[in-house]
Structure 1
């Protein structure tokens, strides 16, 4: 039997897809991280609307207000915090998406000109970690939605005997739901992101119908908005904040936490805007739909929960749809099972919508950026999914999990990261890039900086993070830590404060120590990014095409 040497094994594992630069995948480029040619840029404005409706109308968005009411806010104060936070998110998403929309490069390549060709591995590894963990968390929510679907078909599934040990941290029917959701997800990883347009639009329509059907039904059944609107403290068990600085800071924290819940998506927005058919496709659509989708689903979630507290007073606050729907099925009339089946299927679709592009594909793109010679988007998505299941995410969602607290506070690190990225591209570089230098790991590249690391980004990020660390450490500590009120206030403003400080420091350092290559662009369209010509060999031939006049191809919507 012939033995396979490690060298031969590695060669067999290499990504076989060709690219415009060297004709094969290398340690710095493959088909999935090369700037996209026009033929792969298929997302118009309505594609972004469908994307955000599907990813916004999900279980996490539905329960947004629950944590804010836990601060002592009433429903309207919580919604004001959500609205302000999501307006900021909308602008941040668009600002961080310009690189993808204009130069058609994703998050891994974006950070090469911000952090340096080697320094870019730091934000890349951080985003990969988040993709794995969030994939696992959303996998659990998807599994619970599958449980609702199975329970609507076979009600006995809800009372299935649990044969798992106590230390498993999960019941058998929940585990079955998770595994079913996971296995259905796997074939969907094979769909290239440029073909997501129609699934996004179809899924968003189904989810929108389901959400508003539940909303109208709840209002009609209760005959109003429910007791949570008038007596929030009695139901939530948290004393209301009557006014003053405590209320102001609680709302400020609510704004920051609302931004923080979307901070991972803001960070790698260029992974999706690179599929924009034309640069402006992402602007108006995302400025409107990003805040609107989250505000609407948060409002629907809190009103439906309030109504349910009125007509199911003995069941507590049923914040999550997968908790509410089984109660509706058990207490409802003849049509309740069919209604719960439809609603459960809609939430399963919404979880596919957030977990596949938002976590699996994002993780796949980032892993492709880390090891492009061996990993493409599909391989990376499968790796992300397997790791997301392997970490036993249901254990992370227990009320005593310190890791869950760390995860919810991760905007401490992501706000400064985003600030550095946006400031570098829009302010320091004035939206001008040398694409070819982004794939050159040698000192000849203007993005090599000092030993492959841009010290300006490093210093700016550290200075943005350090004021937030005392509050962060106090938040994750299992025992109380005495820190001054000032540090707590800094932590309450984690994402916006970290963003502003790091962005400002990065701009100042870049003014004091200007990096090379500012204002320069390539003389030739080496990758066929703007003028594509297919020759049957590598798909991108026109290496002498001008960059100017590049965005005039016919565009879809």
Structure 2
């Protein structure tokens, strides 16, 4: 009886397959994992502009200069860190995304040809853990913006009695904001990524206008900027770290904070209509707009220093101060409301896209028969209640520091990914071997590519000691441990890259760099198939007879096609001349 009930439940929750669209559901495949066909690749340059805007037009980016100024660096040094780190982030993001742009698969599937089917769970589980935690933390931070919005409408909300126990590290005031932010976000989880254009447009425009308006108002009201804008280098003479080392640590920290998003950039690059759309959207926002937002945060904070006499880096705190100084007038409250709701909406959609949807994609790779992007995103969002971010934010500052340093483990993953795809495989993979282990070149040894694991471990082993030292505040450890940690991203990426290349030279993988002869999943347009040397699906199905565009293509072909259809034979005969 129990087994029948379990079987019925599994049948009900199992995802539907649509073989007419090559959407097979199996232990390794579903609609959200297969290579995206042209019809689902709907993102133009503005979609990527909007996507990256979410990680630039936000509170964290606005506050970035504060991190470096409080360490004693000058304004010029802080901005140099931001410019360099964001340029490097663009470079690494594009390298990881290139597989998605070419073969239209995401991070979840991309790892199978490097790690093996089963070992690909190692990077996947790391990503899932990060998505769970960051979704919860972002809900909490967004909830603070919601409390500002509510207070702007009903000022008495700021004095609401705390009904929680003394042992709970939060207040009713904060928890209400969290609940409202979490609940309002839920409907956006039902939007498919290919339909994100309008939310991207609204969120990026709202927050961009709000940030610019806040900066102009503060400078005009203060008639200039305060002393913090002119801060010179103030590294204490007694400090064991010079300004150069602090800048190195700052670059590493800034890149590390974006490592999670860079690692799975192919999850979203696969939605691109053209490669140029991804490049334009990424560079214009991730680098240029990101730098401008940091600079705008610095200018606004410096101007508000003259207005209010104190430094307020955190926008929610600054907005509450603005209402207090405005003596609760309707004008000040209206201004604060529109500022807060703009920041909150952007924070919400950043959380939906960058954390929840990314978590949904990763969970789909873990349980393809039962979880797609939508279900995975909902699971990721509901996990926020289990994680209880108020415990992490208010009581565990060290934990957040460790979370920001998770690039110690992610950089080596990126190192082996980039080495395998660009250097060893020359950007050539067999799509059909990524979704079924039977006879797959990527099954390796029992689903594990033993070559990659020691190279990944060797990437983070030299820097994990520094992470422990920094997180634990240990002052008696050897200086070299901390120095390696300050270069963790570069050390991890480089060590794993070089070692993986060397191991593969000594123990080469069979059939490396081979591709499918035929486009099995109807993934490519005719032009893409021509560039890759793959027989298009419509040719195999006999739908391209008399197509003048097809007959004029110049294609590099391999040997005989694996398909025996008469149309395919004519294709190969035509291409051989």
Name the TM-score, length of structure 2 as normaliser: 0.88
1:448 maps to which of 417, 420, 443: 443
- Cα separation, 1, equivalents of 2:385 and 2:501: 41
- What residue is the counterpart of 1:536 in the other structure? none
- What residue is the counterpart of 1:519 in the other structure? 513
Contact 1:88 1:259 in 2 (8 A): yes
List aligned pairs for 1:147-546, cutoff 5 A.
147-231=147-231, 239=235, 246-313=242-309, 316-332=310-326, 334-398=330-394, 400-442=396-438, 444-477=439-472, 480=474, 482-531=476-525, 542=538, 544=540
Q: CA separation of 1:438/1:20 partners in 2, compared to 1, >3 Å: closer, same or farther?
A: farther
2:190 is paired with a residue whose SS is coil
Per-residue deviation, residues 349-403 of structure 1 (Å, max 9, x unmatched)? 1112210010000000000011010101111001000112321112111264332
> Does 1 or 2 have the higher relative contact order (CA < 8 Å, sep 6+)?
1
- Cα separation, 1, equivalents of 2:410 and 2:379: 23
- Cα separation, 2, equivalents of 1:132 and 1:206: 27
Instruction: Point out the more displaced range, 158-167 or 113-122.
Output: 158-167
- Cα separation, 2, equivalents of 1:450 and 1:225: 63
Q: CA separation of 1:91/1:545 partners in 2, compared to 1, >3 Å: closer, same or farther?
A: farther
Q: CA separation of 1:405/1:20 partners in 2, compared to 1, >3 Å: closer, same or farther?
A: farther
**Pairwise CA distance, 1:481:** 5.6
**Pairwise CA distance, 1:507:** 1.8
- Cα separation, 2, equivalents of 1:172 and 1:157: 10
Per-residue deviation, residues 1-39 of structure 1 (Å, max 9, x unmatched)? 999521221221111243568764111100011111111
Instruction: Point out the more displaced range, 319-328 or 198-207.
Output: 198-207
Per-residue deviation, residues 73-93 of structure 1 (Å, max 9, x unmatched)? 122211111111110001111
Q: CA separation of 1:163/1:5 partners in 2, compared to 1, >3 Å: closer, same or farther?
A: same
Contact 1:139 1:182 in 2 (8 A): yes
Instruction: Point out the more displaced range, 480-489 or 153-162.
Output: 480-489
Q: CA separation of 1:96/1:241 partners in 2, compared to 1, >3 Å: closer, same or farther?
A: farther
**Pairwise CA distance, 1:543:** 8.4
- Cα separation, 1, equivalents of 2:3 and 2:29: 30
- Cα separation, 1, equivalents of 2:371 and 2:163: 38
Instruction: Point out the more displaced range, 157-166 or 119-128.
Output: 157-166
Contact 1:170 1:394 in 2 (8 A): yes
Query: Which 5+ residue runs of structure 1 have no aligned equivalent?
Result: 533-539, 553-557
**Pairwise CA distance, 1:158:** 1.1
**Pairwise CA distance, 1:66:** 2.0
Name the TM-score, length of structure 1 as normaliser: 0.91
Q: CA separation of 1:402/1:113 partners in 2, compared to 1, >3 Å: closer, same or farther?
A: same
- What residue is the counterpart of 1:54 in the other structure? 54
- Cα separation, 2, equivalents of 1:98 and 1:401: 36
- Cα separation, 2, equivalents of 1:21 and 1:454: 31
- Cα separation, 2, equivalents of 1:187 and 1:435: 34
- Cα separation, 2, equivalents of 1:139 and 1:397: 11
